Amino acid sequence: MSNLSKSLLLLLGVILLSLAAYAAALRPFILHWGASESETSAFLPGDDMAPYTSSTRAVTIDAPKEVVWQWLVQLGGDRGGFYSYTILENLLGYDTDNTIVIVPEFQEMKVGRLVVSTPPSAKGTDKMSWKVVAVDPGKFFVLQGWGAFVLREAAPGKTRLIVRTHGWATPSLAAKLGYFFTMPLHYLMERRMMLGIKARAEAGTGVPLSSLPDYLWLAGVFLSLLGIIALTFLAHRMWQALAPLVYGVLWLWVCLIADPTPGFALALLAVVAATMVWFSSGKSRGNRAKYS
């Protein structure tokens, strides 16, 4: 078997092991990120409007409900944005601008309103929208095709933001596979949205929020993935093959389980880069010895 064939086989092994780890251990976590058992099992507004409940996620915000609601109600590409990864939203063509201020004209939420994915000026992308089908101002609203956004008082001056995501019908195997593979991306964006609302509510209106941590985290995650792929082509011994297999699972842990801050992502990148240097230097020494 050629080295290329071995490398491609190892890369396939990394993918399969990562998928197995995701399905067995990581997926249950991301479906209930931050939510308590009682929140996960509780009946929430809108549960009767969807085929089934896909996920329940929650975060505690050190701000009163009325303050959190002012940020939450501004969701929308034509309003305050989605408070998620602006760089990814723009790469997908949504051209969003995540605000850091509370805008008085964005504070109304009525049944029938469309929460759109992009501002009217955006071009070159599929424009999605979610219809408001239920609302209790200051407490919750439900978006058809997305789910319920619920605020509950956790303690005086503290709020629990709960997002109950609804599933959709998957009548075919292709639909089931599509749902399986798109859920992690939805989770990453939804988690960042919830953390974005938390950061804004706790900081206060008009307070600048740095995007540098997001850029560093995304860079660490992306470059680590490239490094792991490169390791599959640098590993030419059995023990070396363990590195990309282990790092592949660690990469998923950094993406899905660890806090989305630069520390873990950059640490993994440093380890992967050091391993690449190690494997490359070992290969160079082997080649020099072979032809000396």
pLDDT digits (tens, 9 = 90+) for 63-94: 999 999 999 999 998 899 999 998 888 777 67
- The pLDDT, as a whole number, for residue 292 is 42
Lowest mean pLDDT among 37-41, 201-205, 241-245, 284-288: 284-288
Average pLDDT score over residue span 135-163? 96
What's the whole-model pTM score? 0.89
**Residue 167 pLDDT grade (very low, low, confident, very high; cuts 50, 70, 90):** confident
Q: Which two tokens stand for residue 24?
A: 């067995």
**3-class SS of residue 260:** coil
Among all chains, which residue has been given the structure tokens 């809108």?
Answer: 46
β-pair type (129-136, 114-116): antiparallel
The rounded mean pLDDT for the chain is 90
Q: Please list the alpha-helical segments (H only) found in the chain.
A: 3-21, 27-31, 37-41, 65-72, 86-91, 173-203, 212-234, 242-256, 262-291
* Residues in a beta bridge with 137: none
**How far is residue 103's CA from residue 55's CA, in Å, rounded to a whole number?**
30
Using a pLDDT cut of 90, give the percent of the chain over it: 72
Amino acid at 1: M
- The pLDDT, as a whole number, for residue 85 is 92
**How far is residue 218's CA from residue 265's CA, in Å, rounded to a whole number?**
8
- The pLDDT, as a whole number, for residue 123 is 61
Average pLDDT score over residue span 197-220? 96
If 0-12 CB within 10 Å is exposed, 13-18 middle and 19+ buried, where does residue 150 land?
Answer: buried
Predicted confidence (pLDDT) at residue 204 exceeds the cutoff of 60: yes
**3-class SS of residue 96:** coil
Among all chains, which residue has been given the structure tokens 């639909």?
Answer: 175
Contact 14, 232 (CB under 8 A): yes
**Residue 54 pLDDT grade (very low, low, confident, very high; cuts 50, 70, 90):** confident
Predicted confidence (pLDDT) at residue 289 exceeds the cutoff of 50: no
Domains of the chain: 3-24+214-291 (no CATH), 32-209 (3.30.530)
Q: Which two tokens stand for residue 249?
A: 């699972």
Measuring CA to CA, which residue among 163, 167, 133 is closest to residue 40?
163
- The pLDDT, as a whole number, for residue 1 is 65
Amino acid at 156: P
